[in-house]
Structure formats: C-alpha cells, structure tokens
Amino acid sequence: MNGAIRTCTDALSETEWVAQHAGVTGENVNNLIDRHAWLADAYFAANDFARSKSERLKQERLLDGLMKADPRNRDLKDTWIVLERALANIEQGQGQDNAARARLENALAAADEMIRFDDKNDEWRKSRVQIQEDLENLTPNEKGTPHGH
C-alpha cells in the first residue's frame, strides 16, 4: 500500500471510529464523505479504478442520505456535482465512456439548475464550464460525433 493510500485509509478509519462512538451527526457524515473522497483520489492516482469507484459509491450513498434529509441544500448539490464528475472520470478511465457521459450530463443539468437559482455565482459557472470540458474530452458517442456538436 502506498503512503497516500495508507494515510487516507487511516484517516477514514479514525473518522469512522468517531462517527460510531460519537453518534451520527451531519458533521460526522460530512467528514466521512470527505475521507471517502480522499481515499478514492489516492486509489485513482494509483490507477486502481475499481477501488476508487468503490470509495466514490460509498461517498455517494452517504451524500444521498444527507440530500434526502435536506433536498434544498445547495452545498450538498454542489458536492454531488463534484462527485458525479469524479465518478465520470473513473468510468472514463475504465473505458465506460457512455456511463461517464450520462453522469456528466446529469451533473450539467444540476449545474444549470444551480445557476438558475443564483446566476451570479461564479463558482457554479466555473463548475459548469468544467463539466462541458469533461464532456468534450470524452470519445465520440455511438453516432460518431462528440457531445454537443
């Protein structure tokens, strides 16, 4: 196990211990979401796409629970958009371009909704541009044309 993976695994274990012993709170769940993301990034950097995706899916389940409890929370939606981009990146690395495209299109729709809510939010506009760039970097779809062309 490389150093980054070990460090992130240890951080996740500590956070899980706190959540187990201190009780499930929004803060503890947010911390777990972050630690799964760290570990997913470490696995991704090591080209271990399967483990990276597994950590991202754990993160997704935790985030889904928070979003169901607070569906109007824009910070959670923003985190979800980042998560969708990360999962799409993994799927692209696994050669699953259609799955990646579907995730990015969902993220783009969510970004559009966020911008409609607050059209002056530069972070959401930047996020939308990044998603569009991700879509353009995918291989052409089944019809042989890049997305959006």
Residue 83 sits in the same domain as residue 110: yes
Where does the pLDDT of residue 67 fall: very low under 50, low under 70, confident under 90, or very high at 90 and above?
A: very high
Q: Is residue 66 part of a domain?
A: no
pLDDT value for 26: 87
Give the model confidence (pLDDT) of 9-23 as tens digits.
999 999 999 999 998
Domain match, 55 and 77 both: no
Give the mean model confidence (pLDDT) for residues 54-73: 95
**pLDDT higher than threshold 70 for residue 146:** no
Average pLDDT over residues 48-59: 97
Q: How many CB atoms lie within 10 A of CB 142?
A: 7
- Are both 87 and 49 inside the same structural domain? no
Average pLDDT over residues 46-69: 96
User: How many structural domains comprise the chain?
Assistant: 2
51 and 87 share one domain: no
Chosen domain end from 11, 34, 59: 59
Q: Quote the pLDDT of residue 148.
A: 42
Note whether residue 65 is domain-resident: no
When the pLDDT of each residue in the chain is averaged and rounded to a whole number, the result is 91
Helix 26-45 vs helix 3-22: crossing angle, to nearest 10? 160
**Residue 141, pLDDT score:** 58
CA-based radius of gyration for the chain: 16
Q: Does one domain contain both 95 and 122?
A: yes
Q: Is residue 15 part of a domain?
A: yes
Within a domain: 88:
yes
* Residues 55, 107 within the same domain: no
pLDDT value for 58: 97
Query: What domain range includes position 80?
Result: 72-149
The yes-or-no verdict on residue 143 having pLDDT over 60 is no
Write down the pLDDT at residue 1.
64
Calpha distance 46→67 (Å, rounded) = 30
Report residue 76: phi and psi, to 5°: -65, -40
User: Angle CA(97)–CA(137)–CA(115) in degrees, nearest 5?
Assistant: 95
Give pLDDT tens digits for 87-134: 999 999 999 999 999 999 999 999 999 999 988 889 999 999 999 999
- Decide which of 59, 87, 105 is a domain's last residue: 59
Residues 76 and 148 in one domain: yes
Is residue 130 domain-resident?
Answer: yes
51 has pLDDT over 70: yes
Q: Are residues 18 and 85 in the same domain?
A: no
Say yes or no: 108 and 148 in one domain.
yes
Domain boundary among 59, 85, 105: 59
Please give the model's pTM, rounded to 2 decimal places: 0.88
